[in-house]
Amino acid sequence: MPLSRRGSGTLLTPTGQHLAMHTRTQDDESLPHATKRTMTDHLRRLETLFTLTPQRMRMITQSFRETLENGLEKVDQVVPMIPTFVFGWPSGQEQGDYLAIDLGGTNLRVCLVHLQGKGKFEVTQSKYRLSEEQKQDEGQKLFDFCAESLKTFIDSNSGEDGILHLEPGEKLPLGFTFSYPCKQNSIDHGILIRWTKGFGAPNTEGENVAEMFQKSLDKFELPVTLTALINDTTGTLIASHYVNPHTRIACIFGTGCNAAYMEHVKDIPKIKDLGIDGGMDMVINCEWGAFDSFEHEHLPRSKYDISIDESSNKPGEQAFEKLISGRYLGEILRLVICELIDDGILFLGQNTYKVEVTNALDTALLSLMESDPTEELLMIIGIFSHFFALETTLAERQFLRAIARLIGRRAARLSACGIGAIVGKMGYLENGCAVGCDGSLYNKYPGFAGRIQEGLVDIFGEKARNIYTHHCRRWIWPMTKARKDAGIHAHL
């Protein structure tokens, strides 16, 4: 339905739900509600809480940079700066068929990648949603689910009409994107340091997840060879560089957040004993979501952030990620709303139990609220009536949207501090560079990329315009197999 500024209709949300919307010519005279004035006062208070001044951003960027340097210097730091054993950039000429399986925070994806060279590629993929139960179930079962999904994908794409034509006994190279912090001593090995993003599958932390996955692959007798295990940021870095050779950094802004970049081996003091040629370059998976964890010295945490942290399955951990990523932004807004309900500011006289349920407000709804193009904010009417059975006045809707904007803007500006720390450390400001990005926040949250850019300008001034983010899908990374074939193995 085309958006009309008056009347009723439905809207389709990114998650495929239909929202009923209706406008009213009179603004809820029948419902008691707070005055605009009271809301304005609260908005001012929240603005102070969620706004980052350029000066504060520069301070965060500086401490971020020191933290990254520490992680390169010493082992077992909070921000671990993980050597990935992925060496150097792709040439852009890589060709061939590769399978990729990607276990992210929300979905499992299986992809067949056809690299055509010259930075060109085709991808065929299937996506499976992970349930909350699966995230807490035995680790081996999770890997069995990955292998089983891969089997379904291979079976349904094989045969005469399929895109996969395997000779008897032939095996396809398989890359596993595992988007959690893993300590690696080669490209096909990874000890899970800790689960993030609400996962808690027992008997997995401290284990070699490549080995666990191999066990599941064997169980389903799949015609594949597991050639590499990498983080999603590493995958995005390699894939982004394949399509845009100016890429130097990659970020994920999705259910979780993190970055990877290419470092000079000589500048990674903690691996100097491995005897790797100092002239080489290696991808570092920063795991920057852990910045300021436990000590909470640098980041501006509000009482809402603290409450989310304390009620999470990993209190104290992933402090940076909890202010930024898609898993948490909706919940921050929901906690603000609940407080204002308790204070008698919002939804007076209405039954608010639906919005009082933990995690009831998905970050996708914040995106929708911010992108509502109508004067009367019809989308927001639809969201609150459909999901929470709540009527809203126009003043409330404007207020809610303003809070969503504060939360979304803070997330993007903090992300700019992380990017700024790498840019500063590597000296990329003068000549500029591209930052390949992926993840639902970056791809779907309105204005996220623009706010990162604005944040970088606040940190570095006009020169920051030399640094630009671009969207890139990470599925094509399994070409890193070529690196393994080059015989580069090392042990930490």
| Residues contacting ligand BGC: total by CB under 6 A | 18
Three-state SS sequence of 376-433: CCHHHHHHHHHHHCCCCCHHHHHHHHHHHHHHHHHHHHHHHHHHHHHHHHHCCCCCCE
Burial class for 408, CB neighbours closer than 10 Å (0-12, 13-18, 19+): buried
Residue selected from 33, 109, 197, 410 as contacting ligand BGC according to rule CB under 6 A: 197
What SS3 state is found at 49?
Answer: helix
Give yes or no for residue 372 binding ligand BGC (CB under 6 A). no
- Which token pair is 278? 């100092």
CB of 99: closest distance to ligand BGC in angstroms? 20
**Residue among 28, 58, 126, 194 flagged as catalytic:** 194
Give yes or no for residue 67 binding ligand BGC (CB under 6 A). no
- CB count within 10 Å of CB 124 equals 15
484: part of which helix (H) or strand (E)?
A: helix 481-485
Closest CA to 285 of 476, 422, 439: 422
Residue selected from 258, 350, 392, 453 as contacting ligand BGC according to rule CB under 6 A: 258
* Cβ proximity to ligand BGC, 192 vs 226, nearer residue: 192
Task: State the maximum Cα–Cα separation within the chain, in Å, rounded to a whole number.
Answer: 76
**Residue among 179, 240, 325, 367 flagged as catalytic:** 179
Q: For residue 185, how far is the Cα from the chain centroid?
A: 25
Active site residue 311: no
Active site residue 194: yes
Three-state SS sequence of 63-100: HHHHHHHHHHHCCCCCCCCEEEEEECCCCCCCEEEEEE
Give yes or no for residue 71 binding ligand BGC (CB under 6 A). no
Give yes or no for residue 102 binding ligand BGC (CB under 6 A). no
Q: What is the DSSP letter of 439?
A: S
* Cβ proximity to ligand BGC, 197 vs 401, nearer residue: 197
Q: In whole angstroms, what is the distance from residue 327 CA to residue 197 CA? A: 7
* Segment interacting with ligand BGC (CB under 6 A) among 153-161, 203-211, 249-257, 458-466: 249-257
* Cβ proximity to ligand BGC, 287 vs 458, nearer residue: 287
Give yes or no for residue 177 binding ligand BGC (CB under 6 A). no
CB of 78: closest distance to ligand BGC in angstroms? 12
Residue selected from 94, 102, 144, 232 as contacting ligand BGC according to rule CB under 6 A: 232
Active site residue 240: no
* Cβ proximity to ligand BGC, 180 vs 304, nearer residue: 180
- Angle (CA) 123-446-340 rounded to 5° is 130
CB of 178: closest distance to ligand BGC in angstroms? 8
Give yes or no for residue 418 binding ligand BGC (CB under 6 A). no
What SS3 state is found at 244?
Answer: coil
- Which token pair is 307? 């409450």
- CB count within 10 Å of CB 277 equals 9
* Cβ proximity to ligand BGC, 345 vs 421, nearer residue: 421
**Residue whose tokens read 């707070």:** 34
Binding residues for ligand BGC restricted to 305-344, rule: CB under 6 A: 321
* Cβ proximity to ligand BGC, 106 vs 225, nearer residue: 106
The set of catalytic residues is 179, 194, 232
Binding interface with ligand BGC (CB under 6 A): 104-105, 179-181, 196-197, 231-233, 252, 254, 256-258, 287, 289, 321
